[in-house]
Chain A
């Protein structure tokens, strides 16, 4: 089961995803995660605990980042600790090119 935690440090949001980023996450994403992150200008996602992804999940992630970036040009987004096998999927789909080279750290 997917869950997330949100910690706040000054203006920075620190979001930890736990579980598979897949179609099951859709509702949670729409109803909670996107609204919760609307006000931040600096967001960091931790993928340490994400072992699997599906294409819907990746679509949701892309949509999430696109949405928060709409709020302002200077919104900073970082994704860190992506597991190597998940990184393989991201690389194959060229996510780094879609989101910008410096998003993955």
Chain B
């Protein structure tokens, strides 16, 4: 069969020459058939190419080096540039290799057949040069050309950075190693068509070496706390990371001086709940007390801290520690160079710590061994007070410290800034325990609302004054009085009500309230209720009043009433107020008004009256079979526990209310997540 080839060229001449070079013969030995003459203008862009078919004439001189390509026009009329010949450096003799190409030891070999040329497709990572020219895509190989295979190489530079934290306690090496990606030429078995693809090889290149790190650390003056293991790890890491390559040491903080009490000062101050949630009423009520000569506390000196060290070898000092300053008050002596605190009098130790200053004193105790009546007169005492007898009608007993009354109280008023315990009955009397009292706690509530409203009112005044159509023509003669009057008419009508309530509460409690409450009451009256123009109708004064109210409320908030509580055996027709807890341990509580800042626990019966606790109420039996109205209230986060609620019991948690129309047992009432009363 005759070999033939289709060749393209810019013109016929070129096409023939190309065809001849492919067949490796000369013009005389082929027949030439012109298939396409080519474009009109030889050099015009877009002109048609010339196509010729050369067919080798039968010739005995055919050399072994001659090659041929298949007579498939579609395959050959691709592009004249693709039609190339090749040179094989090593002719392969076996017939099976004929028309095939292969790769061995990184080199390209081929064995053209007389009637076909093998082809190569260049793949990833490989560059193939034919006669020094880069080949892309697919090409045919001939023996007459020189081939060179090169492999690609991609190098990504590594990155690194060293940082020190602000305390100079840690040095971090942020590292991202570099990569080198290379390709290896694989051997490929002989085939008519091969894809020349490289095998990918990825190597990690360290971003930094040990010496570079040490040099940088030196620049940063890091000389302490190297972590060599981490440095090595960082250098050899094959993924990005942050390594702590040096660490200092934090200072170990010391402790200020402190006082160690040898007396339990909280004795009897809180309701003690047993594990099952019930209250132990049998626990004996006692107040802490010390004897003359008793050591009540040990003063410990400050413990200095241990300095730390930075990575730059600078010392990090710990916070300085200071000793306590003990201010010995009445009945106190310091011994052994101030290391021990000794009581020189008998009484209740009082310890107040503010920062590093500790004030220690012994609160004296007065024991009144008779009844309090017209004969003894009212009793007012700065310390603790024990009354061994009764307190009779119309009498007043007051103490800054704790009050203990051994017998009964009838128609009297008992008040203490601390705790009150009455071992007998408490009938038609008023009790008030805590620095605040039943009036001041109500006043705080009112004043908090007044403060909010006044703040709004003052803002409104400023707003009105600024309005363009508003004239201040009456300010010099009447001040703010007409404006306040109009604002109170509707917009701040509520403020008017609150002020009136505040004034009324002050009037009712004027005998026990501190002066500052009453002063504010008068000033509020002048400002908001007085029809006559006065000094409180100026912007300055109304702001001052506001300031005073804010200060007073702030002070009240900071008052602590940790130790106050009320403990009674039996209460009837009385008013009982305690900032802390209230326990009624005997027969019960009848027709009384009870208010507690803490928990109220009634061991037996609660019948009639109203009780309110800011925390929790525990009652064994409430109301009565005859349906006496008995109201128990707690705020929305509070809880009410009643073992046996009779008809007439009303429980109120926050704004939710429930009236018991028939008896019910084992009630634990509170609000659920949705604000519904559940029990």
Interface residues of A (CB under 8 A from B): 20, 22-24, 51-59, 62, 83, 85-86, 88-89, 92-95, 97-98
Q: Does B490 contact A (CB under 8 A)?
A: yes
**A88 adjacent to B469 (CB under 8 Å):** yes
Interface stretch, picked from B192-200, B244-252, B472-480, B510-518, is B472-480
- State whether A53 and B491 are in contact (beta carbons under 8 Å apart), knowing that A58-B486, A59-B486 are contacts in the complex: no
Instruction: Give me 6 other A-B pairs in contact (C-beta within 8 A), A55-B482, A56-B474, A89-B469 excluded.
Output: A22-B471, A55-B483, A62-B489, A94-B490, A94-B491, A98-B486
28 chain-A/chain-B pairs, Cβ below 8 angstroms: A20-B471, A20-B473, A23-B478, A53-B469, A53-B471, A54-B472, A54-B473, A55-B474, A55-B485, A55-B486, A56-B474, A57-B474, A59-B482, A62-B486, A62-B489, A85-B469, A86-B469, A89-B464, A89-B467, A92-B463, A92-B467, A93-B464, A93-B483, A93-B487, A94-B490, A95-B486, A97-B491, A98-B486
Collect the chain B residues with CB atoms within 8 Å of residue A94's CB.
489-491
Contact with A along B198-214 (1 / 0, CB 8 A): 00000000000000000
Q: Does B460 contact A (CB under 8 A)?
A: yes
List the B residue with the shortest CB-CB distance to A61.
Answer: B486
Q: In the complex, A83 Cα to B487 Cα: how many Å?
A: 21
**A23 adjacent to B473 (CB under 8 Å):** yes
List the B residue with the shortest CB-CB distance to A60.
Answer: B482
Collect the chain B residues with CB atoms within 8 Å of residue A89's CB.
464, 467, 469-470
Q: Residue among B486, B489, B490 with the most chain A CB within 10 A?
A: B486
Q: Nearest 5 A-B pairs (CB), nearest first?
A: A85-B469, A55-B483, A55-B482, A23-B474, A56-B474
**B470 adjacent to A52 (CB under 8 Å):** yes
Q: In the complex, A28 Cα to B485 Cα: how many Å?
A: 21
**B474 adjacent to A54 (CB under 8 Å):** yes
List the B residue with the shortest CB-CB distance to A58.
Answer: B486
List the A residue with the shortest CB-CB distance to B460.
Answer: A92
Q: In the complex, A53 Cα to B468 Cα: how many Å?
A: 10
List the A residue with the shortest CB-CB distance to B483.
Answer: A55
Interface residues of B (CB under 8 A from A): 460, 463-464, 467-474, 477-478, 480, 482-483, 485-487, 489-491
Shortest CB distance B537–A (Å) = 11
**A59 adjacent to B485 (CB under 8 Å):** yes
Collect the chain B residues with CB atoms within 8 Å of residue A23's CB.
473-474, 477-478
Shortest CB distance B319–A (Å) = 55
Q: In the complex, A101 Cα to B8 Cα: how many Å?
A: 100
Residue of A55, A83, A95, A97 near B469 (CB, 8 A) is A83
Collect the chain A residues with CB atoms within 8 Å of residue B460's CB.
92
Shortest CB distance B487–A (Å) = 7
Q: In the complex, A89 Cα to B460 Cα: how many Å?
A: 11
Shortest CB distance B474–A (Å) = 4
Shortest CB distance A36–B (Å) = 23
Shortest CB distance A89–B (Å) = 5
Q: In the complex, A23 Cα to B460 Cα: how many Å?
A: 21
Q: In the complex, A23 Cα to B478 Cα: how many Å?
A: 9
Shortest CB distance A76–B (Å) = 21
Shortest CB distance A34–B (Å) = 17
**A51 adjacent to B486 (CB under 8 Å):** no
Collect the chain A residues with CB atoms within 8 Å of residue B489's CB.
62, 94, 98
Shortest CB distance A100–B (Å) = 11
List the B residue with the shortest CB-CB distance to A56.
Answer: B474
Q: In the complex, A93 Cα to B463 Cα: how many Å?
A: 10
List the B residue with the shortest CB-CB distance to A20.
Answer: B471
**A52 adjacent to B464 (CB under 8 Å):** no
List the A residue with the shortest CB-CB distance to B469.
Answer: A85
Collect the chain B residues with CB atoms within 8 Å of residue A20's CB.
471, 473
List the A residue with the shortest CB-CB distance to B472.
Answer: A54
**A85 adjacent to B467 (CB under 8 Å):** yes
Shortest CB distance A22–B (Å) = 5
**B467 adjacent to A58 (CB under 8 Å):** no
Shortest CB distance B35–A (Å) = 95
Q: In the complex, A28 Cα to B467 Cα: how many Å?
A: 26
Q: In the complex, A54 Cα to B474 Cα: how many Å?
A: 7
List the B residue with the shortest CB-CB distance to A84.
Answer: B469
Collect the chain A residues with CB atoms within 8 Å of residue B472's CB.
54
Q: In the complex, A92 Cα to B468 Cα: how many Å?
A: 12
Collect the chain B residues with CB atoms within 8 Å of residue A59's CB.
482, 485-486
Collect the chain A residues with CB atoms within 8 Å of residue B483's CB.
55, 93
- State whether A92 and B464 are in contact (beta carbons under 8 Å apart), knowing that A53-B469, A59-B482, A98-B490 are contacts in the complex: yes
